[in-house]
């Protein structure tokens, strides 16, 4: 790295320059910058500098062009850190130099003007000393929040909180899978199921891989006057055989178990891992509990937890049959029914693998929805079930049946199959499967799916019944209608291809698919 740094001090035009000074004890010797990471959220871009020790630093902004300058006394940039590849979000380019021999300077060239907030974090767990610079863009946050859903005053609003995110990975599995990714995957699917059903409305506290502080998650719910708060996580334990789902609510006293106590400590410390400046937190977050309506909140949260446990037991088993209690900070400051759901164990190799799979996430999301819906059936605040049951139905017509449903000829259906099946899905508000060569699956709001497997030998009596059975079995395991139809069509066609290759397509019967369906399900060899 050269000592010259060109173009760093162009003429500063009229404007206000904010300078932040920082110092930590022990910052008298050289400190190495060992890693540079960016995180991009809807309201900010976060730069994290990992350090070998505490530092003395200064951060200030310059104009024309817009940039943020970070000076670190006695700083050293480790070899191999490619700064040019690190930029993104609000940052167009990142570069480094030395205005003086003993000062490491890092410059962020900005896409547009941003305010900033800088702070140091002490080591926490596996995290070393860190210098954090947040570039704040409030208008982007407002746009991101409003883009999720148009919320009406009369809506029964469910806030879904995917745990962790960004700098905070949560529990890490043995193969390297992150809790934050599992939580977000399940939360996204749960939101889609809830909003598709239409009885309730759902919105996420985070929509991508970025960190949201516990304070912000709580404020998000309260500002939108949410009716229910669901925090989605994946568990961790020292014992690798630990498995199953758990549900926790707020405790006014001690934790109901050692596991609950340990989990609460781990989750409440998430702000340290995620990089929150503790000195900037709202003092209201330090309150122990909200006095008003606390008994009602805990009673309702317990009822919601029981309904969720009953549903989750059907799709993967439970770690605990009872609703646990612990002092989770994210549950403390909301005055609505609030639960924390541990969907499985990242530290269990089998569950870690399963939790990363789309079907498993869909099944868990479906179970959470069914538990939530059962709770809402007993909640007088929740709208009654008035929506057409066809919304959760699947139609599986062949071209002739599709023509009769659409009041057009089978020829017209075949002339434009995608348009015909999309029209049926919209008209009947259902998932529609148009059978035939190149089976199509359609649901309003989703691209049409095409199955490129299968053959003409499948045009035999009973073949459609087998398909319906496969789809029904997937839905019974927690898959949504759309996902069950897509997976079911594919499995049905692949089994037919395998059966045709083994015994020929001519004279194929529906029952010929059974051993190959078992093979697809279990992975075991097929007995010829």
Q: Above 80 in pLDDT, residue 528? A: no
Distance CA 507, CA 157 (A): 54
H or E element in which residue 132 lies = strand 129-136
Q: Above 50 in pLDDT, residue 157? A: yes
What band does 329 get if pLDDT is binned at 50, 70 and 90?
low
The domain boundary, picked from 322, 347, 377, lies at 377
Same domain, 211 and 333: yes
Cβ-contact 20, 59 below 8 angstroms: yes
Same domain, 371 and 468: no
Q: Long-range contacts of range 81-90, CB-CB < 8 Å, 24 or more positions apart?
A: 81/33, 81/34, 81/35, 81/36, 83/36, 86/36, 86/37, 86/38, 87/38, 88/38, 88/40, 88/45, 89/38, 89/40, 89/45, 89/135, 90/44, 90/45, 90/114, 90/135, 90/137
Give residue 95's pLDDT. Answer: 87
Higher per-residue pLDDT: 484 or 16? 484
Give residue 323's pLDDT. Answer: 92
Distance CA 451, CA 489 (A): 7
| CA separation, residue 20 to residues 72, 118, 120, 364, 432 (Å) | 12, 7, 11, 46, 59
Mean per-residue pLDDT over the chain, rounded? 79
Give residue 312's pLDDT. Answer: 93
What band does 525 get if pLDDT is binned at 50, 70 and 90?
very low
Same domain, 337 and 258: yes
Give residue 522's pLDDT. Answer: 59
Q: In this structure, is residue 1 part of a structural domain?
A: no
Higher per-residue pLDDT: 479 or 68? 68
Same domain, 518 and 449: yes
Same domain, 122 and 181: no
Q: Above 50 in pLDDT, residue 60? A: yes
| 392: DSSP letter | G
For position 422, which CATH number holds? 3.40.1190.20
What band does 158 get if pLDDT is binned at 50, 70 and 90?
very high
Q: Above 80 in pLDDT, residue 106? A: yes
Return the minimum-mean-pLDDT range out of 76-80, 81-85, 187-191, 215-219: 81-85
Cβ-contact 73, 84 below 8 angstroms: no
Structural domain span for residue 245: 148-276+289-377
Q: In this structure, is residue 92 part of a structural domain?
A: yes
Give residue 267's pLDDT. Answer: 52
In percent, the amount of the chain with pLDDT more than 70 equals 76
Higher per-residue pLDDT: 275 or 171? 171
Q: Above 50 in pLDDT, residue 364? A: yes
Same domain, 220 and 338: yes
Q: In this structure, is residue 38 part of a structural domain?
A: yes
Output phi, psi for 278, to 5 deg.
-60, -35
For strand 338-345 and strand 246-250, is the pairing parallel, antiparallel, or unpaired? antiparallel
Q: Above 70 in pLDDT, residue 10? A: no
Distance CA 516, CA 528 (A): 10
For strand 201-204 and strand 157-162, is the pairing parallel, antiparallel, or unpaired? parallel
Three-state SS across 61-124? EECCCCEEEEEEECEEECCCCCHHHCCECCEEEEEEEEEECCEEEEEEEECCCCEEEEEEECCE
Q: In this structure, is residue 60 part of a structural domain?
A: yes
Q: What is the mean pLDDT of residues 124-149?
A: 66
For position 243, which CATH number holds? 3.40.630.40
Give residue 336's pLDDT. Answer: 84
Q: Above 50 in pLDDT, residue 141? A: no
Give residue 146's pLDDT. Answer: 42
Give residue 387's pLDDT. Answer: 44
Give residue 279's pLDDT. Answer: 42
Q: In this structure, is residue 383 part of a structural domain?
A: no
State how far Cα 368 lies from the chain centre. 14
What band does 435 get if pLDDT is binned at 50, 70 and 90?
very high
Return the minimum-mean-pLDDT range out of 27-36, 202-211, 392-401: 27-36
Instruction: Say whether 264 sits in a helix, a strand or coil.
Output: helix
Q: What is the mean pLDDT of residues 194-199?
A: 78
The domain boundary, picked from 377, 411, 444, lies at 377
Cβ-contact 217, 401 below 8 angstroms: no
Range from 8-22, 82-96, 499-513 that averages highest in pLDDT: 499-513
Same domain, 111 and 161: no
Range from 57-66, 73-82, 183-192, 252-261 that averages highest in pLDDT: 183-192
Structural domain count of the chain: 3
Give residue 494's pLDDT. Answer: 92
Q: What is the DSSP string of 469-518?
A: HHHHHHHHTT--HHHHHHHHHHHHHHHHHHHHHHH-STT--GGGGHHHHH
pLDDT tens-digit readout, 339-353: 999 999 999 999 999
| 15: DSSP letter | S
Give residue 221's pLDDT. Answer: 85
From 232, 196, 202, select the one nearest 425 (Cα to Cα). 196
| CA separation, residue 117 to residues 128, 233, 265, 275, 276 (Å) | 20, 29, 27, 12, 11
What band does 204 get if pLDDT is binned at 50, 70 and 90?
very high
Write out the two tokens for 28. Answer: 């008298």
Cβ-contact 136, 117 below 8 angstroms: yes
Range from 80-94, 271-285, 295-309 that averages highest in pLDDT: 295-309
The domain boundary, picked from 342, 377, 412, lies at 377
Q: Above 80 in pLDDT, residue 22? A: no
Q: What is the mean pLDDT of residues 496-506?
A: 89
What band does 465 get if pLDDT is binned at 50, 70 and 90?
very high
Higher per-residue pLDDT: 72 or 427? 72
CA atoms within 13 A on the CB side of 410: 8
Same domain, 480 and 513: yes
Q: Above 50 in pLDDT, residue 480? A: yes
Return the minimum-mean-pLDDT range out of 3-7, 107-111, 515-519: 3-7
| CA separation, residue 365 to residues 160, 192, 313, 490 (Å) | 11, 9, 13, 22
Same domain, 221 and 305: yes
For position 61, which CATH number holds? 2.60.40.3500
Three-state SS across 157-180? EEEEEECCECCECCCECCCCCEHH
Give residue 58's pLDDT. Answer: 92
Q: In this structure, is residue 157 part of a structural domain?
A: yes
Q: In this structure, is residue 70 part of a structural domain?
A: yes
Same domain, 313 and 338: yes
What's the pTM?
A: 0.62
Q: In this structure, is residue 14 part of a structural domain?
A: no
Peptide bond into 65 cis (omega under 30): yes
Same domain, 370 and 518: no
Q: What is the mean pLDDT of residues 378-397?
A: 71
Cβ-contact 40, 135 below 8 angstroms: no
Q: What is the mean pLDDT of residues 218-230?
A: 87
Cβ-contact 271, 207 below 8 angstroms: no
Give residue 17's pLDDT. Answer: 53
Distance CA 357, CA 258 (A): 30
Range from 36-45, 112-121, 279-288, 306-315 that averages highest in pLDDT: 306-315
From 218, 220, 230, select the one nearest 149 (Cα to Cα). 220
Give residue 397's pLDDT. Answer: 92
Q: Above 60 in pLDDT, residue 274? A: no
Same domain, 194 and 308: yes
Distance CA 369, CA 308 (A): 8
Give residue 252's pLDDT. Answer: 63
């Amino acid at each position: 790295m050269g000592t010259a740094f060109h173009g760093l001090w162009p003429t500063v035009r009229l404007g206000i320059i904010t300078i932040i000074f920082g110092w930590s004890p022990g910052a008298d010797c050289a400190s190495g910058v060992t890693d540079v990471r960016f995180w991009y959220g809807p309201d900010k871009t976060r730069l994290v500098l990992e350090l070998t020790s505490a530092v003395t630093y200064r951060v200030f902004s310059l104009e024309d062009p817009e940039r943020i300058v970070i000076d670190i006394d006695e700083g050293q940039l480790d070899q191999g850190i490619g700064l040019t590849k690190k930029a993104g979000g609000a940052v167009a380019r990142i570069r480094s130099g030395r205005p003086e021999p003993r000062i490491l300077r890092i410059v962020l060239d900005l896409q547009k003007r941003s305010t900033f907030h800088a702070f140091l974090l002490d080591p926490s767990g596996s995290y070393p000393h860190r210098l954090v610079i947040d570039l704040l863009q409030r208008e982007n946050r407002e746009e991101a929040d409003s883009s999720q859903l148009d919320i009406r005053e009369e809506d029964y609003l469910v806030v879904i909180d995917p745990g962790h995110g960004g700098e905070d990975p949560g529990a890490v599995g043995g193969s390297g899978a992150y809790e934050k990714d599992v939580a977000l995957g399940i939360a996204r699917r749960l939101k889609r199921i809830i909003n598709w059903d239409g009885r309730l409305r759902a919105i996420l506290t985070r929509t991508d891989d970025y960190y949201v502080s516990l304070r912000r998650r709580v404020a998000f719910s309260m500002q939108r006057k949410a009716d229910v708060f669901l925090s989605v996580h994946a568990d961790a334990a020292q014992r690798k055989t630990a498995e199953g789902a758990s549900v926790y609510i707020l405790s006014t006293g001690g934790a109901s178990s050692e596991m609950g106590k340990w989990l609460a400590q781990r989750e409440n410390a998430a702000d340290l891992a995620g990089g929150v400046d503790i000195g900037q937190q709202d003092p209201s977050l330090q309150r122990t509990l909200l006095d008003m309506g606390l008994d009602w909140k805990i009673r309702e949260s317990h009822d919601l937890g029981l309904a969720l446990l009953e549903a989750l037991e059907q799709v993967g088993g439970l770690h605990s049959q009872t609703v646990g209690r612990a002092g989770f900070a994210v549950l403390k400051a909301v005055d609505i029914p609030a639960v924390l759901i541990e969907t499985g164990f990242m530290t269990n190799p089998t569950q870690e693998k399963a939790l990363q799979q789309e079907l498993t996430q869909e099944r868990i999301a479906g179970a959470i929805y069914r538990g939530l819906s059962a709770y809402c059936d007993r909640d007088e605040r929740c709208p009654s079930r008035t929506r057409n049951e066809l919304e959760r139905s699947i139609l599986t017509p062949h071209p002739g049946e599709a023509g009769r449903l659409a009041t057009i000829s089978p020829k017209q259906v075949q002339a434009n199959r995608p348009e015909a099946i999309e029209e049926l899905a919209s008209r009947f508000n259902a998932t529609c499967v148009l059978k035939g060569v190149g089976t199509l699956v359609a649901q309003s709001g989703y691209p049409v799916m095409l199955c490129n497997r299968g053959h003409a030998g499948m045009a035999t009596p009973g073949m459609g019944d087998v398909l319906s059975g496969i789809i029904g079995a997937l839905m019974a395991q927690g898959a949504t209608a759309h996902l069950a139809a897509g997976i079911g069509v594919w499995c049905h066609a692949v089994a037919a291809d395998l059966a045709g290759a083994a015994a020929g397509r001519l004279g194929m019967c529906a029952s010929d698919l059974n051993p190959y369906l078992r093979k697809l399900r279990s992975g075991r060899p097929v007995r010829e």
